[in-house]
Structures are given as C-alpha cells and as structure tokens.
Structure 1
Amino acid sequence: MLASIHEDPPILVCADLQVEYLTPGRRHVVLDGDAVTARCLELLTLWRGNLWPVMHLKRIAQAAWFNPASRLTDWIAETKPRPGEMTFDHPLPSAYSSSRFVDYMSNIRTVRCILIGFSLDETILATAVDGFHRSHRYQVVADAAACRQPGTGDAAAYKHAVVNVIGNFATIQSSAELIRTSGAVAV
C-alpha cells in the first residue's frame, strides 16, 4: 500500500538521540555514531521542513549509567526537540513503557511511524516488537539507526543480525530510499 507522504505523513520517531551514546569510553557508545547522526539530521530536517509530525523518545532508566541528573542524558544539540514536537521519556527499552506514549499511540487515527536513532538493539527493537503486537506499523531506517558495540564479535554482523530480527516486526528501509520516494512511502 502506498500512501502520499504529503497527505498523510508518518510520524518520524527519533529514538534516544542522547549525548550518552556518542561519548567515547561509555558502555553504551554506538557504532558509526557520526554517520548515523548525520542521516538522522537529514531526515529530521526533511520532516521539520515539511512540518510533518516528529516525536522524540528519551531513555531515562534507573541504572547508574543513565543517571537522570547527568548531562549524558541530554539531547544531542542538533536533534533537540523543538516546540510542537512530542517528547516521551521511557524507563525501559520500549517506548511503550511510557504510559503517555501508550495513551498517545492508542488515540491517533493511523499509527505509521518511521524509527531512527540510537539503541537499535534496545529501544528500536523493543518498540517495533511492542508496536507490532498492537497492530501499529513501523519502518526502521537501518542506516539512520545505531546500536551499541557488542562485548565480543564483529560489530557489523551484530547490527545486521539485529536488523534481521527487527525485519520480522517492521519494514526495513534505507534513508536514501525514504528520501527519494517522490511523495509516497510504503507502509
């Protein structure tokens, strides 16, 4: 099914675009952080330029590495939510762990979301799975999503495996495909 992106744009969901994930030496530092951030900014600029809906998810866990008082949980400056953009804090990996997020998603007409950002192996995966079980449709932009470095093994293989798992619950797309769809987005 193709829907006109201009008539009924999907919500761009920016997952956990926080300083924590780009700080060298941190446990949750992501792979290809600069490249993924650039792709996220490109998509965010497109959505903002067209005044399409944007949502920001922010992981605020109780664990020591996500101390809410720390500056590490701050938004990356360029991706900071603007007035009119929705924000949801979530304590567990899935955005559905936020009761406000659940309320919002259950009250919109058609749930079509494009997921980008960090914690591919946590927030993006968990949100796509939870959304799938609620009949919400998600697309994940694989090259605009990053995951933490695995403890052992090949990092690229780890990301590829996570993307393959997410593909069971959401559509996988590249940022180039999304940008050049000429007014239509497959949902």
Structure 2
Amino acid sequence: MLASIHDDPPILVCADLQVEYLTPGRRHVILDGDAVTSRCLELLTLWRGNLWPVMHLKRIAQAAWFNPASRLTDWIAATKPRPGELTFEHPLPSAYSSSRFVDYMSNIRTVRCILIGFSLDETILATVAEGFHRSHRYQVVADAVACRQPGTGDAAAYKHAVVNVIGNFATIQPSAELLGTSGAVAV
C-alpha cells in the first residue's frame, strides 16, 4: 500500500545518535559513522523542513562502558532534539524499556515509524522486534543505520547480517526512496 508521505508522514525515529559512537578509541566506535551521520542528517533535515514528527531515542545504560554522567552520552550536535521533538531515554536495548515510550506508542492512532541511527545491533534490533509483537510497523533505512564493530570478523558483513535479521520484523529500504521526489512511501 502506498500512502502520500505529505498527507500522513510516518514518525522519524532517531536512535542513539550520541557522541559515544563517534569518539575515536572507544571500544564500540562505529567505523562508517560519518557517512551514516550524514545520511541521518539528510533525513532529519527533510522531516524538520516539512514539520513532520521526529522522535529521539537515547540509550542510558547502567553498564560500566556507558557512563550516563559522561559527556559521551550527549547528542551529536547537529542531531540534538529541537523543541517540539519527542525524546525518550531507555535503559535496556529496546526503546520499549521506557514506560513513557510505551505509553506514547500505545496512544497514537497509527504506528508507522522510520528508524535511523546507531546501535543497529542493540536498540534498533530490539525495538523493531518488540514493536513487531505489538503490531507496530517499522521501516529501517539501511544506509542510515550503523552498529559498532564486531569483536572479530568483517564489520560490513556483520551489519548486513543484522539488517537481514531485522528484515524479519520490519521493512528495509534505502534512503533514496525517502529522499526521492515521488512523495510516496511504502507503508
């Protein structure tokens, strides 16, 4: 089914766009972070320019490597939420670990979300899988998501494998479909 993105825009969900993932020398730094951040900014600019709904997820874990008091959990400056944009902090990988997020998602008429950002193998995967079981529809933009480098093996192959798993619970699409001029998005 195709719906006009202008008439009924889905919510753009920006997952864990935090400084932590771009800081050199960190254990879970994202290697293609600059390219993914650029693609996320393009989509965020499109949504903001059209005054479409934007939501931000921020992982605040209690693990030793993710210190919430550190400046590393701050938003990437260009992606920082603006007034009127929703923000949800979540302690576990799934955004549904935030009771505020669950309440919000339970009270909107049609749940259609487009997910972009970091933590593909944690936040995005967990949120999409849990949302699927709640009958919430998600789309993941394959070239606007990234995950940390795996301990061993090829990072690109790891990302591809995670995206394939997510494809069982969500639609996978390239950003070109959203940035194109057609004004329609598959839902």
Q: TM-score, normalised by structure 1?
A: 0.99
Shift of 1:31: 2.6
- In the alignment, which residue of structure 2 is the partner of 1:145? 145
Mapped to 2, the partners of 1:43 and 1:107 lie a distance apart of 25
Superposed CA offset, 1:80-123 (max 9, x none): 00000000000000000000000000000000000000000000
Shift of 1:181: 5.6
1:32 correspondence with 2:26: no
Shift of 1:183: 1.3
Mapped to 2, the partners of 1:44 and 1:60 lie a distance apart of 22
Given the superposition, is the C-alpha separation of residues 181 and 165 from structure 1 closer, same or farther in structure 2, using an over 3 Å criterion? Answer: farther
Report SS of the residue matched to 1:65.
coil
Superposed CA offset, 1:27-61 (max 9, x none): 22113000000000000000000000000000000
- In the alignment, which residue of structure 2 is the partner of 1:166? 166
Superposed CA offset, 1:111-159 (max 9, x none): 0000000000000000000000000000000100000000001111100
Mapped to 1, the partners of 2:145 and 2:25 lie a distance apart of 20
Question: Which piece of structure 1 moves more, 36-45 or 63-72?
Answer: 63-72
Q: TM-score, normalised by structure 2?
A: 0.99
Shift of 1:25: 1.2
Mapped to 1, the partners of 2:176 and 2:185 lie a distance apart of 12
Mapped to 2, the partners of 1:154 and 1:40 lie a distance apart of 23
Aligned residues: 187
Question: Which piece of structure 1 moves more, 64-73 or 177-186?
Answer: 177-186
Mapped to 2, the partners of 1:124 and 1:12 lie a distance apart of 13
Mapped to 2, the partners of 1:181 and 1:104 lie a distance apart of 31
Shift of 1:184: 1.0
Query: Gaps spanning 5+ residues in structure 1: where?
Result: none
Shift of 1:17: 0.2
Query: Which ranges of 4 or more aligned residues in structure 1 deviate by more than 4 Å?
Result: none
Is the 2:177–2:185 contact (alpha carbons within 8 Å) kept by the matching residues of 1? no
Is the 2:150–2:158 contact (alpha carbons within 8 Å) kept by the matching residues of 1? yes
Mapped to 1, the partners of 2:53 and 2:169 lie a distance apart of 22
Superposed CA offset, 1:145-174 (max 9, x none): 000000001111100000000000000001
Query: Gaps spanning 5+ residues in structure 2: where?
Result: none
Question: Which piece of structure 1 moves more, 58-67 or 44-53?
Answer: 58-67
